[in-house]
Amino acid sequence: MNERKIKGDTTMRQLPELTLAEKLAHTGFIFLVGLGLLVAEAYVYLTVGGLDGKPGLDRQDVIISYYGNRSASKLQTVLPTMMAYASIPAAERPKVQETIDHWVVNGQSKTEYEHAVKPLIDANCLKCHSVAMSQQLHNPPLVSYDDVKAVAKVDTGMSYTTMLLTGMVHLTMLGVIFWIAGSIFARTRFPTALKAVLIILPFIAMIVDFSGWFLTHQNPAFSWLVLIGGALSCPTALLEMFLSLIQMWFLRPRPSQA
């Protein structure tokens, strides 16, 4: 009798059998973290998508982000997206692009910068690229001639230091989120094999994604790793949390066993 009682107490309870307080705690986590992951996906779509001048997020955007556009400077590469964010009228954008291209190709002289480039940047870019906003948004400042010249070099993509810093934050935070989401999903009534696949998949996908950053920086052919890893990591965790939420509130508890 005592052995049965001990065994019953240590068995993992499934989601429908949790107390109301436990269900509310899990539900609060799922809603807040789920919303956070959706916002993160939207942020990536808005900041990386469109780098190639076309709407949407595709392989070329990933290549530009991590490998760079080595036929042009970073300033020239991101200029179409910057002009859209700055709400520059579409009819004026070709002239702005031509002005920047001419300055970059013809030696990036300070005289031409002061006369033609600086007025454009002061009027359209400093709301996001001032010194203060650059510290908040982690954008390069575009306040001085030296600032602008630094981003007018050939674009080799995201630096190793930026990838390491971003990776540290991503791997740590998402690792904890995936662990908690997986622990909740482990209490569902789905088959064990399905639970194992969905629980481990976000961890593997995030490692593939992170590795793809560095490999793509060396060779754009590896950009598929970033796309595949990104498509499977957070979306799979969101699927786990959604399925957990459904079973938690809509399945009936099983009768207690003697």
Q: Which of 209, 185, 180 is nearest to 197 (CA)?
A: 185
| Boundary of a domain, candidates 126, 150, 174 | 150
Run of H or E including 191: none
**Domain interval for residue 118:** 71-150
Check whether 156 has a pLDDT greater than 50.
Answer: yes
Condensed to tens digits (0 to 9), the pLDDT of residues 133-155 reads 888 877 889 999 999 998 888 88
Q: 33 and 107 in one domain?
A: no
| Boundary of a domain, candidates 150, 174, 204 | 150
DSSP codes of every residue in 47-92: HTTTTTSSSS--HHHHHHHHT--TTSBHHHHHHHHHHHHTT--GGG
Check whether 72 has a pLDDT greater than 90.
Answer: no
Coil vs helix vs strand at 257: coil
- Does any domain span residue 53? no
| 235 neighbors 215 (Cβ within 8 angstroms) | no
Q: Which of 239, 231, 230 is nearest to 170 (CA)?
A: 230
| 13 neighbors 187 (Cβ within 8 angstroms) | yes
Check whether 187 has a pLDDT greater than 70.
Answer: yes
What pLDDT is attached to residue 247? 97
Q: 241 and 215 in one domain?
A: yes
- Does any domain span residue 61? no
Q: What is the mean pLDDT of the chain?
A: 90
pTM for this model (two decimals): 0.72
What pLDDT is attached to residue 10? 45
- Does any domain span residue 54? no
Report the chain's terminal Cα–Cα distance, integer Å.
Answer: 10
Q: 97 and 225 in one domain?
A: no
- Does any domain span residue 184? yes
Check whether 7 has a pLDDT greater than 60.
Answer: no
Instruction: Taking residues 183-196, report their average pLDDT.
Output: 97
Q: 165 and 237 in one domain?
A: yes
Q: 207 and 130 in one domain?
A: no
Check whether 171 has a pLDDT greater than 70.
Answer: yes
Q: How many domains does the chain have?
A: 2
Q: 232 and 174 in one domain?
A: yes
Q: 120 and 93 in one domain?
A: yes
| Boundary of a domain, candidates 93, 117, 150 | 150
Neighbouring residues of 78: CB distance < 8 A, sequence distance ≥ 6: 51
**pLDDT > 90 fraction of the chain, expressed in percent and rounded:** 68
